[in-house]
Amino acid sequence: MDVREALLLDPDNTELAFCQPNESDKAEPMLMEYLDEFFYVKANGQLLDLRIKSKKLSGEGINTALGVTFEVGGQEALTSLEIKNAVFTDLFFDQSNIVYVHNDDDSNSLMLNKETPVHTLEY
């Protein structure tokens, strides 16, 4: 079972048990492997090494959404943040992904999709 199958066809499956207390050890590495292909964040032009801080499945049925939180610290002043989120846009033409960016007291929300998978925030 790959991560797309697990999340899309059977989010409550017991094999990987995404976001459940009994989540499989394989679940998060599989998710990161998938995200590495479709998601990235570049700070000041440098690709960030992302690690999952938390994740959550919300909603139910066809309205199920997966939320993943990353937290990255750094001393360097942030001048730009380039974000790509093309998750599931290969499967659904109308897939939209929401990205919330919190930098100190500044917050931004982005909606990325197949047409516009990448956005750059300037600081």
Partner 1 sequence: MQSFGLYVQLGFEHISDLAGFDHILFLVALCAVYKIEQWRRLLILVTAFTVGHSVTLALSSMGTITIPSEIIEFLIPTTILLTALHNVIGKPTGETKSGMGKNYAMALFFGFIHGMGFSNFFRALLMGDDNIAMPLLAFNIGIEIGQLMVVGFIVGIAFVFLNIIGTKHREWNLFVSGIAAGMAVLLMSETKFW
User: Any contact of residue 9 with partner 1 (CB under 8 A)?
Assistant: no
CB of 63 to partner 1, least distance (A): 4
Across the chain, how many H-helices and E-strands are there? Answer: 2, 8
Q: Which residue in 25, 63, 73, 91 binds partner 1 (CB under 8 A)?
A: 63
- According to CB under 8 A, which residues from 79 to 118 bind partner 1? 94, 96, 98, 100, 107-111
Q: Which amino acid is at 67?
A: G
CB of 1 to partner 1, least distance (A): 23
- Rounded distance, CA 49 to CA 75, Å? 15
| Integer CA distances (angstroms), 111 to 25, 57, 68, 95, in order | 30, 18, 15, 10
**Comparison of 25 and 91: residue with beta carbon closer to partner 1:** 91
Q: Which residue in 1, 52, 65, 118 binds partner 1 (CB under 8 A)?
A: 65
Adjacent-strand bridge partners of 59: none
Give the 3-state DSSP-derived string for 96-117, with helices as H, strands as E and coil as C.
EEEEEEEECCEEEEEEEECCCC
User: x/- contact string, 23-62, with partner 1 (CB under 8 A)?
Assistant: ---------------------------------x-xxxxx
